[in-house]
Every structure is written in structure tokens, then in C-alpha cells.
Amino acid sequence: MADAASVVDASMDVFVTAAHPNAPTVVKSSGSVLTTPKVVVVTFDSEPLAAQVEAFAQAVGASAYWSATTSEYGVGAAQYAGAVHVASPPETTISQTALEAWLASQLDGTHPEWPTADASTIYTIVYPLFDGIEVDDVAPCEGSPAYHGQITLGSIQVPYAAINRCDPRFGLSGIDYVTAGLSHEWIEASTDPFYFTSPAYQSPAAQYNDWMFATGGELADMCTTTNSVYFQPPDLPYTVQRSWSNAAALAGHDPCVPAPMGAYFTSAPVMTDTLHGSSGGQAFTSEGVHVGLGQSVSIPVELFSDAETNATWSVVAQAVPAASLSFMWDATSGQNGDVLNLTVTRNADDPTLVGVDAFIVTSTLGMRQSAWVGAVGD
């Protein structure tokens, strides 16, 4: 007679995640990550948040949050390498080129107050509120509020990060805004430090160019489609941003880690075709669904979760800025195993991505959100 404890009641329901498309992974190119990243914080004397930013830089590297977002990519604990307080106020607006020239001049060996430059140190410039950097000739706070880059010093490349104080933004202000932005840039500067000359974890595979165009493609970028990615970890008293985990994506779990408590749920449009487009004169391909300009197509959207949600979630679709799409659903909510039908009308081409127009499907249940990217085009 079998031991009673080993008998499984066949009448018990076992949760099964519904069929769904594969999530993308961010692929590694030939470049290296920073295995021992160091962080230098650079502020100006008028910055009231300087002490808090420095305290954050000292604490983040040893946190479970940092390990959860970077260790699978070969990045070790971030180390605090000091702070620089610049007495002279910055220019109200400075170009990216001018900022890089200024940073190089400070790291030329004639400024002993600056820690010695090397290829593993991320020099991080925090601009005062209402001042900032123009990136690609876009005025501060009209484009990306924070970014990372690199400068050439002799024979080495040196990574840096910079943040514009554009708060309140994303529902964040003050130190919460700054630490959320810096967590994003430090993850990316560690996993893709030399973006221009020797990229590492820079973007998903070409099949998923729709995700790259919708998000930016780097690991932290991939999780910027909803504001629910900002949170305060239990072991770190600062607001930070979740970042993409290839391991979690492959396993069908929430790819934006550390994942919040509860079931992961999302709604994935089924992409059946290969689209052909161009950007800046460069041809590219992407997953998507074929539809001509001025025409409509019906796309199945597969809802799935990795555990029981005990409730339905709502879904909405929105075009990535610059795309001109309109949407109609046969239903706007569901749960694991449901398939909704989304009719997408392609009204006009995105002028920056000729032939391909991306969109985002956002799922909401309570205070939590998730997102999935799709595209239509030629």
C-alpha cells in the first residue's frame, strides 16, 4: 500500500502557464563588462543632494538589488571610489561634446582632487536642477534625462554617466528621481561600458528590433515601459529601477528584476512576420505583422501569468512616439490562457523608422504593470 503522503490527489488543479511568444534576451556583443566597477560622484557646490547621492553610491554596490540586476552578466559589486565637489557653477546648458571635453580636462592628471582615471571607473556627473546637458542637440529634459557614454584618455576608454535634474518626472522627485536614474545608468555603464567602440550588452537580437526601438535596448532600458519598475528595495533606503534579466525572461518570469511579490502577468501580441525597414539610411529587420499604410490587421494577443492571479488584468495598446497607429480591442481584460484580438490600423509611417511602426501593450492589475512590444509594417 502506498504511503499516504506520497499520493497526489488527481482532482487538485495544477496551475499551467498558458502558451505565449518567447520574450527577447539582450545579447552580448564582443565588448567586455566591468567586472569590478567603481563609481565616482561629481556634484557642484550648489547641489543640496550631494551627501545623499554619495551615501547611495556607497551603499548600492553591496545590496541584493545590485547583485540581482548585474551578477548574471558577470558584473561584481560596485565600489565607491570617492566624490568630487566642483566649486564653479556649471554652464546652464552644455552640449554632450563640451561635457566630454570638460571631463577629459579634469582627468588629465593636473587635478589631484579627481580620482585617477581608469577603464573601470564610472565618473558620474549630477547636474543641478534646471541646468543640464544637450544630448544629440536635444535640449535638457526634452530627451533622455540621464545617459552614459565614454571618453578617450590617451590609450584607454573611460566610462561616465550624467543625469539632468528634470524632476518631478516619472512620479519621482528629489533624491528619489536622482537615485532611480543613477541606478539605471550604473547598471548599463557596467554591462555596456563602451557603447560606441566595443559594445557588450547593448540590444536584443535583431529579431527583436521592435523592442530596441521601443525601449533603447540596453538592460535597464528594456524595463522603462512602465512606471511600476521604480521601487525601494528592503535593504537599500533609496528608490531604484528594476532591470532586465535574461534568465528570468527565458524562464517565463518577470524579466524586470528584482521582481515584485506575486504572480507575473502580461499580454503578448503574436508576431508572425519579418518586417523590413530603415533608420538613418540603414536597413534592418524586425519581428512584426505585415500591414500596409492606411490598412488594418487583427493580431492575437496571448495573456499569460506564471502563477494564479485570482483576478483579470486590463490591457491597453499605445504607439511608440512618432508612430501613427490606432487600436481597437474585442475585449480589454482577461487572464492566463485568454486570447484577445487587437486590430491595429497603420495610419502613417514613423519618419525615423521607415517601414516599421512599434507599439506597446501594457497590462495592469492593481498597482502593478507589465509591458510587451510589437510592431506592424512592411
**Alpha helices per DSSP H over 209-309:** 209-215, 246-250
**Is the same domain home to 71 and 193?**
yes
Confidence at 137, pLDDT banded by 50, 70, 90: confident
User: What are the cell numbers at 133?
Assistant: 546637458
The enclosing domain of 294 has a CATH number of 2.60.40.10
User: Which one, of 209, 163, 171, 168, lies nearest residue 188 by Cα?
Assistant: 163
| Beta carbons of 203 and 218 less than 8 angstroms apart | yes
Confidence at 12, pLDDT banded by 50, 70, 90: low
Site of grid cell 492589475: 365
Residue 11 domain-assigned (yes or no): no
**Is the same domain home to 276 and 198?**
no
- Domain range for residue 282? 263-378
Q: CA-CA distance, 83 to 85, in Å (whole number)?
A: 7
Number of domains in the chain: 2
* Mean pLDDT value across residues 341-367: 92
Q: CA-CA distance, 230 to 234, in Å (whole number)?
A: 13
Reported pTM: 0.93
Taking only the tens place, the pLDDT of each residue in 215-256 is: 999 999 999 998 789 999 999 999 999 999 999 999 999 999
* Mean pLDDT value across residues 273-281: 92
Q: Which residues contact 110 (CB under 8 A, 6 or more apart)?
A: none
Q: CA-CA distance, 200 to 182, in Å (whole number)?
A: 19
User: Which one, of 80, 88, 171, lies nearest residue 122 by Cα?
Assistant: 80
The enclosing domain of 97 has a CATH number of 3.40.390
Residue 74 domain-assigned (yes or no): yes
